[in-house]
Structure 1
């Protein structure tokens, strides 16, 4: 089955700008580290009250608009771990790279389609 490399926020409860602002709030409040994995990327967040639910909700909304992503959110001790992978496609890998850089850039074409 071919999965299109498209992010469609048509039915999202938030706008692309609101989503970016939410990412920036999450990163500024709770991001502990990020790393590349053999399968994709990983964000590590401090497991402060509410962070796990926040990350899970955000990952679910991302999955709803970007089907080519795979997300896994787990609790690992004092951290919430968000793993992200994409289908085997050059365009999808480029979007994953933009996602990885989001904490530094604050912007991405991923969320504005």
Structure 2
């Protein structure tokens, strides 16, 4: 993996996030690493729903569960649903309320950017 797309620009982090500002660059780096290493594709199901297709490895599932649990604790408007439809098929659905679509847009853009799709 190359981390040349990883940045510490936290402009997409919403004001409603309760994670201390000093910890945000670290969380952002974790997300960038996860998006780069684990995400195989993304589909925008609706304005409020982003589906990330993940590598099906057990370690990816463990990382996704840990990261989304911690993110839910500081940005409670996120709804994460991790599901497995087969041994190699792992999906992370990310939903937000209508008032937070801009945050989901930014997450989708960030995912595409760190994976080199833009």
Match of 2:3 in 1: none
For structure 2, the 5+ residue unaligned runs are 1-14
Query: In the TM superposition, what are the counterparts of 1:67-106 in structure 2 within 5 Å?
Result: 67-77=76-86, 78-89=88-99, 92-106=100-114
For structure 1, the 5+ residue unaligned runs are 107-113
* C-alpha separation in 2, matches of 1:51 and 1:60: 14
Contact 1:41 1:83 in 2 (8 A): yes
Number of aligned residue pairs: 98
Provide the aligned C-alpha RMSD in A: 2.0
In the alignment, does 2:16 pair up with 1:6? yes
TM-score, structure 2 normalization: 0.73
**How far has the Cα of 1:105 moved from its partner?**
3.8
TM-score, structure 1 normalization: 0.76
List per-residue Cα deviations over 1:5-51 (Å, max 9, x = no partner): 711103xxx81111111112112222110011135101111112311
* C-alpha separation in 1, matches of 2:37 and 2:77: 28
Structure 1 residue ranges, 4+ long, deviating more than 3 angstroms after superposition: none
* C-alpha separation in 2, matches of 1:105 and 1:7: 22
